[in-house]
Structure 1
Amino acid sequence: MANSPSGESVIRRLIKIISAFDAAHTSMPVAGLARRTGLPVTTTYRLVDEMLDEGLLERDNRGQVRIGVRMWELVSRSSTMLGLREAAFPFCEDVHSVVQHHTTLGVLDQDEVLYIERLSARSSALNIAKIAGRLPIHACSSGLVLLAYGPAGYQERILGGPPLTKYTDNTITDPAQLRRHLAEIRQRGYAAMRGIIVPESSGIAVPVFDAENKAVAALNVIVPAHEENTAATVPVLKAAARGISRALGWRGELTGTVHQTIKIPVHR
């Protein structure tokens, strides 16, 4: 693949352009795109023109560019996340209807939690977990669950890596303390964390397993801080996570499962 004078490949420059779009920048003029990517204006115009021709980008009614429908189509065709979302969505709906708070499904990607589903509650807590949004692995309940159930080597790499960022007074950043906390999460089968990334909200999360008994996602609810009802919420989450896991081919038992009748429909 041809390189630019700076040594960057075409693919790397295309990724820079795609990555420039986010929830706060859904569309922008090409000159603005050049500023956000740090690419030369002429290079940006040339690449944008090619991406427009292929439908990867499109222009809105103001003449600004945005991610095109063709991009969504290509990504959705064979993504493993599509099958996970389809399996999980009915159960996410059940949790949302019972708990009446934000409900999310997150996966690990590049040492962060990537949220692939979210059902929102207008009157609930501040929710910074957005679809296609990311949060630090150590500063959200979903991340801590996935870290707790991840391979020992992966845990040690995170705990032994660069110092973790402390977002609030409740964020656990000390490796020894975090290691003990991960053991507790694994023992009880869920994470319940208050205000570890923003003070206003708390997260409660449980793992979702695949046919190989690997924790591939975290099912999570976000509630206002100091309004957690963990005793009632955890069984609902675990019942739903069990349903999602079995839909993915898992046949095990969830750690710390509470044997309690939960009024959640069984989806076949």
Structure 2
Amino acid sequence: MAGNTSTPGATVVSRTLSVLYAFDNAHRRLSATEVARRAGLPVPTTHRLLRELVAGDALVRGEDGRYAVGRRLWDVGLLAPDRTDLRHVASPFLSDIHAATRATVHLAVRDGLEVLYLDRLSGRASVPVVSRTGSRLPLHATGVGKVLLAYAPDDVRERVLAGPLPRLTAHTITQPGWLREQLDTVRRAGYATTTDEMTLGACSIAVPITRPASAATEPEVVAALGIVVPTLKRARTRLLTALQIAAQGIARNLH
């Protein structure tokens, strides 16, 4: 439960926050009753707050009557300094790669046990993909996700490997042992690939973006940069080189 703010002294702000905090990775779409229970609020109060949040585009109400986080709230979240700086620094590099390849280009970070797409560039010539800016997808089935999982803390990696590993297509890697071997290879090679694992007809290649070490910190993988194309058979080396050069440029400009 997100917390109980139904006490007489609870402010409007605290009640509103409790409604927003009712949503998390495991609870993305909630009914009004579920929000009320998780927020510890009376149902009538919850209904009123939900109406106001929907009117302000902080939440959206689906055709099934359930609520989800709205785009406006996502845009506000992107103002957090670390992600704002990352998107700003990476933007010209994504544009250069997209202009050269006309492929879908992704900038992503790990958010818990999922990939969060901070930016995406695509065009008419791009392979159709399910990702969009602000969306979250499984770590084990995407190129950027495999990079982020390979360099994630041990406890995160073990939680993902413990499953379940959803099968998105017939080619999705769902065997923990096989996925572990792939992640070991990613760390050795410095890049990840997928073939038809998230979407049929789509292959991807991705590399880590590493924040440089300083006197007080160790090098840290802060994001992943990836490209989605129909096939990697002929262009793998060219695409990998372009990604690595871009990732190095982004890293040099990160503060």
TM-score > 0.5, shorter chain as reference: yes
Q: Which residue of 1 aligns with 2:203?
A: 202
Instruction: Say if 2:139 is the partner of 1:137.
Output: yes
Q: Which residue of 2 aligns with 1:259?
A: none
Distance in 2 of aligned mates of 1:36 and 1:123: 42
Q: Which residue of 1 aligns with 2:178?
A: 177
Taking only aligned residues, the RMSD between alpha carbons, in angstroms, comes to: 3.4
The answer to whether the 8 Å contact 1:101/1:222 transfers is yes
Over 3 Å counting, the alpha-carbon distance change for 1:228 and 1:153 in structure 2 is farther
Q: Secondary structure of the equivalent of 2:141?
A: coil
- Tell me the CA shift for residue 16 of structure 1: 4.6
Gaps of 5+ in 2: 8-13, 61-66, 213-217
Question: Aligned ranges for residues 80-159 of structure 1 at < 5 Å?
Answer: 80-159=82-161
The answer to whether the 8 Å contact 1:169/1:196 transfers is yes
Distance in 2 of aligned mates of 1:110 and 1:206: 19
Gaps of 5+ in 1: 26-31, 60-64, 250-268
Over 3 Å counting, the alpha-carbon distance change for 1:235 and 1:103 in structure 2 is same
Q: Which residue of 1 aligns with 2:11?
A: none
Instruction: Say if 2:243 is the partner of 1:237.
Output: yes
The answer to whether the 8 Å contact 1:207/1:241 transfers is yes
Over 3 Å counting, the alpha-carbon distance change for 1:201 and 1:34 in structure 2 is same
Distance in 2 of aligned mates of 1:58 and 1:139: 28
Q: Deviations over 1:158-199 (max 9, x none)?
A: 22x233112222211212111111111111111111111121
State TM-score, norm by structure 2: 0.75
State TM-score, norm by structure 1: 0.72
Distance in 2 of aligned mates of 1:134 and 1:68: 13
Q: Which residue of 2 aligns with 1:265?
A: none
Distance in 2 of aligned mates of 1:208 and 1:184: 17
Q: Which residue of 1 aligns with 2:222?
A: 216
- Tell me the CA shift for residue 210 of structure 1: 1.2
Question: Aligned ranges for residues 67-86 of structure 1 at < 5 Å?
Answer: 67=70, 71=73, 74-86=76-88
Of 45, 48, 61, 1:46 maps to 48
Distance in 2 of aligned mates of 1:241 and 1:42: 50
Distance in 2 of aligned mates of 1:233 and 1:96: 11
Q: Secondary structure of the equivalent of 2:93?
A: helix
Q: Secondary structure of the equivalent of 1:243?
A: helix
